[in-house]
Chain A
């Protein structure tokens, strides 16, 4: 089955620790994205990548880092510099970023809690 997988589903982190969230897709999509969702709020873009070995900051990139070494993988690291990391993190992919009707498809998400 084609799709997007994220792991782990739940993650608990102590303050001061860095953690890495995994995102893998087998849809052969060029573009991948990371979003953060807080209760009662819309999705906010953290980083996105249009092609391998290239990525751009989104609206709330501070305290996060990414890499895109392979087309199918786009891991997100939440660093200790992120002030309020507790949130629901969603990874998505699409065939492209510009133009008509490149629908985004989402992974099941990772719920991160900082203790």
Chain B
């Protein structure tokens, strides 16, 4: 089992739709969680950190479920510019060392 798993997609949605991605992680000792956005042939850019109480930034909402070991990202009112790959990142401890573990990403295509 991978340490961080994401559905690779692609998710094809029309403009204005709401879309949700999930990401599961295997290490219950994981400390912090993030969503990044990566455009084609570009570097990942931080979209938002994921707090225990959940957090929202404009059209984006992130949730953490520690009991089931997953995080989610909800995008409302999708825009064409939201088309990208969304990476889930988990900061976890293995053998006393903290590491950032990246999912392989979920690809989103927003269609006109």
Contact B99–A105 (Cβ < 8 Å): no
Kindly state whether residue A20 has any CB partner on chain B within 8 Å: no
Kindly state whether residue B44 has any CB partner on chain A within 8 Å: yes
Tally of contact residues, B, Cβ under 8 A? 23
**Dominant secondary structure of chain B at its interface with chain A:** strand
Kindly list 13 other residue pairs between chains A and B, CB separation below 8 angstroms, not including A43-B44, A88-B41, A97-B99. A35-B102, A42-B105, A45-B100, A56-B97, A98-B31, A98-B93, A99-B32, A102-B32, A103-B49, A104-B46, A108-B43, A109-B42, A111-B41
B66: chain A residues within 8 A (beta carbon):
none
- In the docked arrangement, what's the CA distance between A56 and B102, Å? 18
- In the docked arrangement, what's the CA distance between A56 and B96, Å? 13
- In the docked arrangement, what's the CA distance between A105 and B98, Å? 17
Kindly state whether residue A106 has any CB partner on chain B within 8 Å: yes
Closest 8 CB pairs of A and B: A106-B43, A98-B98, A42-B104, A42-B102, A43-B102, A97-B98, A101-B32, A109-B43
List 15 A-B residue pairs with CB atoms under 8 Å apart, sorted by A's residue number.
A40-B104, A90-B44, A97-B98, A97-B99, A98-B93, A99-B32, A99-B98, A101-B32, A101-B49, A102-B32, A103-B34, A103-B49, A104-B89, A106-B43, A109-B42
Which residue of the partner chain A has the closest CB to B4?
A42
Q: How large is the interface on A (under 10, 10 to 19, 20 to 34, 35 or more residues)?
A: 20 to 34
Kindly state whether residue A107 has any CB partner on chain B within 8 Å: yes
- In the docked arrangement, what's the CA distance between A27 and B42, Å? 20
B87: chain A residues within 8 A (beta carbon):
42-43
Which residue of the partner chain A has the closest CB to B46?
A103
Partner of B45, one of A41, A101, A106: A106
CB distance from B14 to the nearest CB of A (A): 26
Partner of B31, one of A35, A56, A99: A99
Interface readout for A31-67 with B: 1 if CB under 8 Å, 0 if not? 0010100001111010000000000100000000000
Which residue of the partner chain B has the closest CB to A108?
B43
- In the docked arrangement, what's the CA distance between A99 and B93, Å? 10
A45: chain B residues within 8 A (beta carbon):
99-100
Kindly state whether residue A84 has any CB partner on chain B within 8 Å: no
